[in-house]
Amino acid sequence: MLETAEKGLKELSAQPWDFMPLAAELFISAGEFDRAADCIGQLKQKDITPASIAFLEGFLAERKGQSYEAVKCWQRAISLGNKSARVNLMLASTLAGLGDLQSAIGQMRKFISEQPDSFEGHLALAKLEAQNANFSQAAYYADRAVELSPANKEAVLLDLRMQMMAASSQTGGQTQRKTAAAEGETSVPADSVMEDRLTSLEKITGQTIDIPFVKETAFVLSGALAGLVGINEIMGVHHRLILNFTGGYGYVGIAVALMGRNHPLGICLAALLFGALYQGGQELSFDLPRLTKEVVVVIQGLIILFCGAFEGLFRPRLLALFRRAPTTAGA
């Protein structure tokens, strides 16, 4: 990458201006920020393609960890006529990283209104809507991306996932499919949507998905795991079958899955935390009789509240912070 930029500038030293924007971009990608800035400065002196210069300045600022400056530069590049998919996608991604998800969604909606056949635009907008927990809109844009590129596995999988999320958030087992222009609503049966998406996925991967077998396997494995919990209680503790011996384990399992984000490692850590709270609460009630076991329930509720419900408040800012840290260290 670096050698290509150097060789190109050397061979085209007489008239380097057409190649210099590409050379500046290669220097930025290689981490040669000073040399990239020098190329951008020469282009500004010649006043060559102001829109490309604004894009390069934004690219350089973003690599240096200056996200706000990058946003300003890319917005200027778009106003100067550079309305390519790349600059719009980079601008929306940076806005989302800064926590301004609504501005990122608005930027991508404006872009696809100008370029309605952009596969990258619809796919990026579907991901942004999913981050915003607007699964119906995410499903619509993902479905549009599949129409534009039926063989794209990422789009098909995203569409399938968004259809499932939208279906689970709707009553009556139906997904409301909304158009971007809000021209109307069309209700599509969730089962039909799932079958269409799975059929598309089968064509891409060349494999057949046996839906009844997958469902039955999931039910059997879930029942087996629940049975292991029951065996522990009946044969290890009570030595007989009693009424309501589970003690609300199902609801605790939902809370553990929520905290663990459905990841095996996260679920193990969340289960250890809840187990420690339960056991500690029982021991504490003996030492301090005034503290009842309901205190443990309150603590669990607070943990779920801060780890689950408040996630959307702090996650975008934390992601932006962690994204800036590596670029700052590399500079």
pLDDT at 64: 85
Query: 277 to each of 16, 178, 212, 261, how far by Cα in Å?
Result: 68, 44, 39, 19
8 Å CB contact between 291 and 277: no
pLDDT > 70: percent of the chain: 75
In terms of pLDDT, which residue wins out, 110 or 174? 110
- pTM of the full structure: 0.54
Is 187 strand, coil or helix? strand
Whether the pLDDT of residue 196 is over 70: the answer is no
174: confidence class by pLDDT, cuts 50, 70, 90:
very low
Angle at 140 between CA 138 and CA 143, to 5 degrees: 105
Q: How many Cβ atoms sit within 10 Å of the Cβ of residue 318?
A: 11
100: confidence class by pLDDT, cuts 50, 70, 90:
confident
Q: What percent of the residues of the chain are helix, what percent strand, and what percent coil, each to the nearest 5? A: 75, 5, 20
pLDDT at 325: 54
Least confident of 7-11, 95-99, 141-145, 326-330: 326-330
Tens-place pLDDT, residues 16-55: 667 777 777 787 788 888 887 888 888 777 777 788 888 8
8 Å CB contact between 189 and 173: yes
Whether the pLDDT of residue 172 is over 70: the answer is no
